[in-house]
Structure 1
Amino acid sequence: MITPSQLTAVAELSASFADGNVDITSRSNIQLRGIQTKDLSSLVHGLELAGFIPSPLHDRVRNIVASPFAGLGFGEILDTQAFVRELDRRLVADQVMAGLPPKFSFAIDGGGPWFGRDRDDLAIRAVNVDNTPLFHLAIGGTLSGFGVRVDRAVDCILESARMCVEISKELEMPARGKRIASVPRAVNRLLDALSGFLVTCPFPDGSSDVGDMPVGISPCERVGFVNLVPSVPLGRLTAEQTLSIASIAKRWDGDIRLAPWRGVVFGSVPESSISQITATLAAVGLSSDGKDGYRGVAACAGSTGCDASLADVRRDASLLARRLAGRCAQPGWTVNISGCEKQCAMRSGATAELIASSSGYSLRINGQFIASNCSLESAIDNVAACQAEIPIEVFS
């Protein structure tokens, strides 16, 4: 959740002290690149003034993920916005929470379609039990079989986090949910400590997991209003595009959300203004129909932003998008383009995976190895054929 004034501040700070771009991450955060050491203190001061760092001590562990459509009428059992705000406020107020490892993540799922891809350290997901909502507890992506009452949900997840810190010290292991869930002694210790909160709970219905990028217009719970999701190519906005998004939200009193598909949601904007809004976005190069070729395409920083990268993968991803433009990608269709074998920040299980080497790309499609050291042109041909459901030719 971000305000127009905060988004404006980010754009201006990036233009003044970074490379002029605003990257949205897969955790729905913002990343600025190309900052010179001499400008760092000025940048941090600007972020503090905009309200981005309420607690420097806790900042690296304030990773709370919810649906970017929370409270916007997208099939949820519960609106999770208030839970997110309360958890954030209480994390900042608790000194123990500063002991969590960096990137420790919390997820609060209202029970509608879920768009995150990470196995969060601690997660609660709304389920209906005899017409009464409960939150089902998951640890490191593993469902526990237990739930917690809605009015005790934040207390439970905070106690769970405290126990992760305590268990890591007792058993000399990382305080990460996935690690704790894999060690019976650790997970049993955690569940025993939470016994006062937990009740038996059915497992959530996984059929609502979509994990796709819903570009375009969707219904909103408010009559006469809609939600709008524009395409953000490769998760990167220019300062000009960022200012345009902030201006739109301010003018039409929209609710801006950053999304885990590295994009943006305009929540609850007047349906009568959609043509004006989409025209304003188009003027700065942001499509609202999902046919710009970038849907489902992800790339790492590439050689322009990372010394380890063996190719300018962002340029190559743009060439692929140009080839795919005008088509409608199938739901769930994804492409990862990585500059090296590390595949930093890439989603798992992509339809097509391109990994750069010193002499070309290795290519996998639907998990099947297709070629190594193939040219960019050959890789693009294969990926385009895959999207069009044409038989794949193996290139060397």
Structure 2
Amino acid sequence: MRVGEHFCPGVFHAVQAKDGLLIRIRVPGGLIEPNQLRAVADLSHSFAGETIEITSRANLQLRAIRNQDLDQVIESISLAGLLPSPQHDRVRNIVTSPIAGLDTEELFDPRPLVHELDRQLRAEPAFANLHPKFSFAIHGGPRRFRRDLDDISLEAASFDDSPHFYLSIGGTSSGFVVKRANAVECILAAAKMCIELALESGAPVRAKAIATISGTLEHITGALSHLLMASPVEPPSPIVNEALIGIYPTAQGGDRRSIVPSVPLGRLTPGQARYLADAANEWEGDLRLAPWRGIVLGSIPKSAVNKIVDHLHTIGLSCEGRDGFQGIAACAGNNGCEASLADVRGDAASLARRLLGHAAPSGWTVNLSGCEKQCARRHGATAELVAGPLGYTLNIEGRRVASDCSREFALDVVAALHENLLSEVAAR
């Protein structure tokens, strides 16, 4: 039985949940092949409750798997090329922009570096010791789409004609840059030092934890000095963009577009996933999972866009941004988790129905959690609903406004807030 004892699931580390076994599938950079998504759709239909979940680090999750089906699920995932290294099953968090190579503002395409980093990670047994939440990020341009601080990140630099990256460790700028040719070597050397320092200090194997220990950042950059040069300019403050919804031009020219539908609560049905995979294959496009728990259908001929968008709408994936779900996130709720005290997914869907037909205000985010643990919590949400034994605790912009309130009251308040924010925008 491949059932892991740790909370963070993998494929070989299935976790028991209320609705069955839960597994998480690594998709480095969110760069998934159409046939891989179709294989996951088939598994979801046959063994995993007809649902595919997209995570905030652009991986995939299947749940409600029966113990007797787990071996067959693992074999199918492996045959799809989504389990290339069993010992690195949970060394999976390589983050890049979901429009890498498509972004018209991008300095250069980071996808080759993502693939090379993944290849070298899997080739080195020592990296299996990284924490399951350890995250690498490689950004090729100014736009990023997640607020979380990554353990080791590289940000494209524009100060020189030759490509460089700013290096950050544990969310703190190192003050150094690395040439593109040395980028993967640098990021792997830094990760290896994190493992060594964690063993010495007893800290978790997270750069975020290690960077808080006095002198460690200087120690790491000193050991990497042969790969680094002092940054001639201050790195820009990262600007986190809102989730994309709609149709966007691409860097490939005027005849190609990216289609970005809304994926309600980050969950795809097998039929939706199959259609996306088939459209990518038919029109020689590509697919990217997105950290807003969505998906990008990229590089589609302009002539095919309307046909695809119309069909996406009929299967519940609107590209208009008015389905009410934009910005709303919820944990598994009491259907999938023993700890949850409310049907937060059902309540999230009820809220979306109230907001249907209206665009989301800028920065609009709502997080519904089934208990105080607040799994998959997004920091800085406009509104937070946290279920307790007697009802919801409701926070607006980080300030508690109600405790132990009914779902109806909480949803009424959030819907009214949404309306007020839209009215403020209209009045400007």
Note whether the superposition's TM-score is higher than 0.5. yes
Q: Distance in 2 between matches of 1:330 and 1:254?
A: 31
Distance change >3 Å, CA 169–CA 88, structure 1 → 2: same
Q: In the alignment, residue 105 of structure 1 is paired with which amino acid?
A: S
Distance change >3 Å, CA 209–CA 203, structure 1 → 2: farther
Cα deviation, residue 186, structure 1: 2.1
Cα deviation, residue 172, structure 1: 2.8
Instruction: Judge conservation of contact 1:234–1:298 (CA < 8 Å) in 2.
Output: yes
Q: Distance in 2 between matches of 1:71 and 1:187?
A: 32
* 1:110 equivalent in structure 2: 140
Cα deviation, residue 207, structure 1: 5.7
Q: In the alignment, residue 112 of structure 1 is paired with which amino acid?
A: P
* 1:355 equivalent in structure 2: 386
Q: Distance in 2 between matches of 1:62 and 1:309?
A: 27
- Which of 262, 287, 307 is the matching residue for 1:231? 262
Instruction: Judge conservation of contact 1:62–1:91 (CA < 8 Å) in 2.
Output: no
Q: Distance in 1 between matches of 2:163 and 2:420?
A: 42
Q: Distance in 2 between matches of 1:189 and 1:231?
A: 44
Alpha-carbon deviations, 1:231-251, whole Å to 9, x = none? 000000111111111111111
Alpha-carbon deviations, 1:151-198, whole Å to 9, x = none? 100110011111111111223322211111111232222111111111
* 2:198 equivalent in structure 1: 168
Alpha-carbon deviations, 1:211-247, whole Å to 9, x = none? x111001111122111111000000011111111111
Cα deviation, residue 132, structure 1: 3.4
* 2:48 equivalent in structure 1: 18
Tell me, yes or no, if structure 1 residue 135 matches structure 2 residue 161: no
* 1:28 equivalent in structure 2: 58
More displaced 10-residue stretch of structure 1: 300-309 or 195-204: 195-204
Q: Distance in 1 between matches of 2:119 and 2:126?
A: 14
Give the secondary structure class of the aligned counterpart of 2:393.
Answer: strand
Q: Distance in 2 between matches of 1:207 and 1:186?
A: 23
Cα deviation, residue 128, structure 1: 1.0
* 1:378 equivalent in structure 2: 409
* 2:127 equivalent in structure 1: 97
* 1:303 equivalent in structure 2: 334
Alpha-carbon deviations, 1:232-289, whole Å to 9, x = none? 0000011111111111111111110000000000111111111100111112111111
Q: In the alignment, residue 108 of structure 1 is paired with which amino acid?
A: I
Cα deviation, residue 101, structure 1: 2.0
Cα deviation, residue 390, structure 1: 6.2
Q: Distance in 1 between matches of 2:235 and 2:174?
A: 11
- Which of 362, 372, 376 is the matching residue for 1:341? 372
| RMSD of aligned alpha carbons | 1.5
* 2:5 equivalent in structure 1: none
Q: Distance in 2 between matches of 1:22 and 1:390?
A: 32
- Which of 227, 238, 247 is the matching residue for 1:217? 247
Give the secondary structure class of the aligned counterpart of 1:371.
Answer: strand
Alpha-carbon deviations, 1:26-71, whole Å to 9, x = none? 0100000001110000000000000000000112113100000100
Within a 5 Å distance, the mapping from 1:1-396 to structure 2 comes to 1-201=31-231, 202-206=233-237, 208-210=239-241, 212-223=242-253, 224-389=255-420
Instruction: Judge conservation of contact 1:361–1:373 (CA < 8 Å) in 2.
Output: yes
Instruction: Judge conservation of contact 1:74–1:112 (CA < 8 Å) in 2.
Output: no
How many residue pairs get matched? Answer: 391
Give the secondary structure class of the aligned counterpart of 1:144.
Answer: strand
Instruction: Judge conservation of contact 2:106–2:141 (CA < 8 Å) in 1.
Output: yes
Q: In the alignment, residue 23 of structure 1 is paired with which amino acid?
A: E
Cα deviation, residue 306, structure 1: 0.4
Q: In the alignment, residue 234 of structure 2 is paired with which amino acid?
A: F
Q: Distance in 2 between matches of 1:59 and 1:75?
A: 33
Q: In the alignment, residue 358 of structure 1 is paired with which amino acid?
A: P
Tell me the percent identity. Answer: 51
More displaced 10-residue stretch of structure 1: 266-275 or 334-343: 266-275
Instruction: Judge conservation of contact 1:297–1:334 (CA < 8 Å) in 2.
Output: yes
Give the secondary structure class of the aligned counterpart of 1:250.
Answer: helix
Q: Distance in 2 between matches of 1:206 and 1:309?
A: 37
Distance change >3 Å, CA 390–CA 129, structure 1 → 2: closer
Distance change >3 Å, CA 296–CA 74, structure 1 → 2: farther
Q: Distance in 2 between matches of 1:71 and 1:16?
A: 34
Q: Distance in 2 between matches of 1:390 and 1:218?
A: 26
Unaligned runs of 5+ in 2: 1-30, 423-428
Q: In the alignment, residue 63 of structure 2 is paired with which amino acid?
A: R
Q: Distance in 2 between matches of 1:92 and 1:369?
A: 45
Question: Normalized against structure 2, the TM-score is what?
Answer: 0.89
Cα deviation, residue 21, structure 1: 0.5
* 1:394 equivalent in structure 2: none
Question: Normalized against structure 1, the TM-score is what?
Answer: 0.96
Give the secondary structure class of the aligned counterpart of 1:226.
Answer: strand
* 2:12 equivalent in structure 1: none
Q: Distance in 2 between matches of 1:45 and 1:36?
A: 15
